[in-house]
Amino acid sequence: MLTIEQLSLRLPHYGTGYAAWWKRSWATCLDNLSLHFLTGEVHALVGASGAGKSLLAYAIMGLLPASARLNGQLCYQGQLLDKRSQKTLRGRELALIPQSLNALDPLVRTQRQVAWAAERAGQSSGSARQSARQALDHYRLDTRAQQAYAHELSGGMARRVLTAMAHVSQAQLVIADEPTVGLDPHQRQRVLAALRDLADQGKTVILITHDLRHALPIADRVTIMRSGKLIETAPAHAFQGTGRSLTNAYSQALWLALPDNAFTLPKPCAASIADKAAGIKAQQEISVA
Ligand SMILES: Nc1ncnc2c1ncn2[C@@H]1O[C@H](COP(=O)(O)OP(=O)(O)OP(=O)(O)O)[C@@H](O)[C@H]1O
Ligand code: NI
């Protein structure tokens, strides 16, 4: 349903220090990515902080900064996805549940915000109000939460409001950027279940996370990213045992570095020791972050 072909992204980057602040160079933030997302799947994008996950989401949504230099091609339902079509499809066919909860308007009550999302997708104001109520009920937000302002919601509730907005937009492609950050296990479970539910209804869900453990229970496939590059795409069930079905040492290391898997660590062979060490370090950095 969405195909990415040889996508590269460069962003301007300014020197530091008195002598160099005005010098502009270009940083390659996404490096020649090719990837295909299927209808009805939860596809997890997993990688450490700075891997390029959010930038890939912005590239798909057409929300990159004006200075961005993008090469390569995006195709949605067989049609070229360019700036113009992204603008038309955003909020209708394509929805982003953003990483920052600041995306909620602090001055508007929950139900009204969700109704606006439905109106943007083409519903009349009456039916938008009804869709908003239904969606918020569906995500188990009670009447009090539906009438609350953003600052009165818990992190988990706010994520479910953002998910309800994606739900009423009827989007076929939903990208959830780090939806589990800062949530307790119960809230996290609810948010992940809501995303799985969207995929089971035939939508495509891209789940961006730095935590493989959160992705695996609901993902069909997992793509590992590192420093703007795609490392490996594998079915979620490949992440088991000693990770032998994974083809890349970094993916294996990410899997084996999870706390519950530490005891299965095999004696690393000389050729992969460096990459495994890097992977474990990345995982530790992630855990600290
Ligand atoms: N507007 C920007 N201008 C220049 N560089 C940027 C910009 N946005 C992001 N970057 C750089 O691109 C790289 C990838 O950023 P991105 O936000 O996509 O990472 P991420 O994988 O989503 O990380 P996180 O898990 O921390 O959200 C980082 O090194 C970041 O510093
Ligand atoms: Ni991000």
pLDDT one-digit tens code per residue, 144-198: 999 999 999 998 899 899 989 988 988 999 999 998 887 888 888 888 998 999 9
49 in contact with ligand 1, CB cutoff 6 A: yes
Q: Give the mutation target among 10, 13, 55 for probing the ligand 1 site: most ligand atoms within 8 A of CB.
A: 55
The domain ranges of the chain are: 240-289
ipTM, 2 decimals? 0.98
29 in contact with ligand 1, CB cutoff 6 A: yes
The tens digit of pLDDT for each residue in 97-126 reads 988 888 899 999 999 999 999 998 889 999
Radius of gyration, alpha carbons of the chain: 20
Query: Ligand 1 centroid to 174 CA: how many Å?
Result: 20
> Which of 127, 195, 204, 128 minimizes the C-alpha distance to 160?
195
11 in contact with ligand 1, CB cutoff 6 A: yes
Check whether 78 has a pLDDT greater than 50.
yes
Q: What is the C-alpha separation between 260 and 184, in angstroms, rounded? A: 19
47 in contact with ligand 1, CB cutoff 6 A: yes
Closest C-alpha residue for ligand 1 atom 5: 11
Check whether 20 has a pLDDT greater than 60.
yes
Tokens representing residue 273 in the block: 């020791």
Phi first, then psi: give them for residue 38, nearest 5 degrees. Answer: -100, 155
Task: Please tell me the predicted confidence (pLDDT) of residue 223.
Answer: 98
